[in-house]
């Protein structure tokens, strides 16, 4: 269930590892939407941003940091990590009214914050995976050859 709100995209601040987005809801435009957002505060969410009916970004994962209310406005803060290309696309829209669509993510906060290292791959449209070439990656043939000759990487066959 996605929550859709018309908000002011107040600011986008960036440091070397993350971007923080600030949105403002003026007055009490959508009290039910704000109540639903309050339940998502402090968790990982997926959001989309529309300007003039066209999506600027869709399905962007973020940590919903805080939701601060006062008598005139409600401020929403989101932290984005690891998607600099998508965050760059948001810069031209800071200071404008936008449509924000927020939904709960199935990702946990620990998964969001941990750096992921491992094999790089691409998933095809049919669901198959394809590994990206890595010069340090051994092939099955190289591993089999090493198992047959335990001295394959020794330069001097008679070390004594």
Q: How far apart are CA 13 and CA 76, in angstroms?
A: 14
94: Cβ–Cβ under 8 A, 6 or more apart, which residues? 9, 10, 11, 12
Residue 25 belongs to a domain: yes
Q: How far apart are CA 7 and CA 20, in angstroms?
A: 16
Nearest to 22 by CA among 93, 82, 89: 93
Report the domain count for the chain. 1
Q: Would you say 42 and 64 are in contact if contact means Cβ atoms under 8 Å apart? A: yes
Q: Name 21's bridge partners.
A: 12, 78
The per-residue pLDDT for 22 is 92
Residue 143 belongs to a domain: no
Q: Which domain holds residue 86?
A: 3-107
The per-residue pLDDT for 153 is 62
Q: What is the mean pLDDT of each run of 10 residues along the chain (160 residues)?
A: 85 81 78 76 86 85 87 88 77 88 75 63 82 74 77 63
Q: Please, what's the largest Cα pairwise distance for the chain?
A: 85
Residue 139 belongs to a domain: no
Residue 144 belongs to a domain: no
The per-residue pLDDT for 77 is 92
Q: Would you say 38 and 67 are in contact if contact means Cβ atoms under 8 Å apart? A: yes
The CATH number for 64's domain is 2.40.30
Q: Name 50's bridge partners.
A: 55, 99
Neighbours of 135 (CB within 10 A): 4
């Amino acid at each position: 269930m996605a929550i859709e709100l018309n908000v002011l995209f107040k600011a986008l601040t960036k440091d070397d590892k993350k971007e923080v987005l600030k949105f403002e809801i003026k007055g009490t435009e959508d009290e039910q939407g704000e109540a639903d957002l309050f339940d998502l505060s402090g968790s990982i969410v997926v959001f989309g941003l529309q300007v003039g009916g066209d999506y600027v970004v869709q399905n962007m994962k973020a940590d919903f940091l805080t939701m601060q209310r006062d008598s005139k406005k409600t401020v929403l803060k989101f932290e984005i990590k690891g998607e600099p290309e998508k965050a760059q696309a948001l810069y031209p829209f800071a200071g404008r009214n936008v449509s924000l669509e927020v939904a709960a993510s199935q990702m946990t906060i620990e998964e969001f914050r941990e750096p992921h290292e491992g094999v790089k791959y691409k998933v095809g449209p049919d669901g198959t995976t394809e590994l990206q070439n890595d010069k340090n990656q051994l092939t099955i043939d190289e591993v089999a050859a090493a198992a047959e000759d335990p001295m394959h990487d020794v330069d001097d066959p008679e070390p004594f």
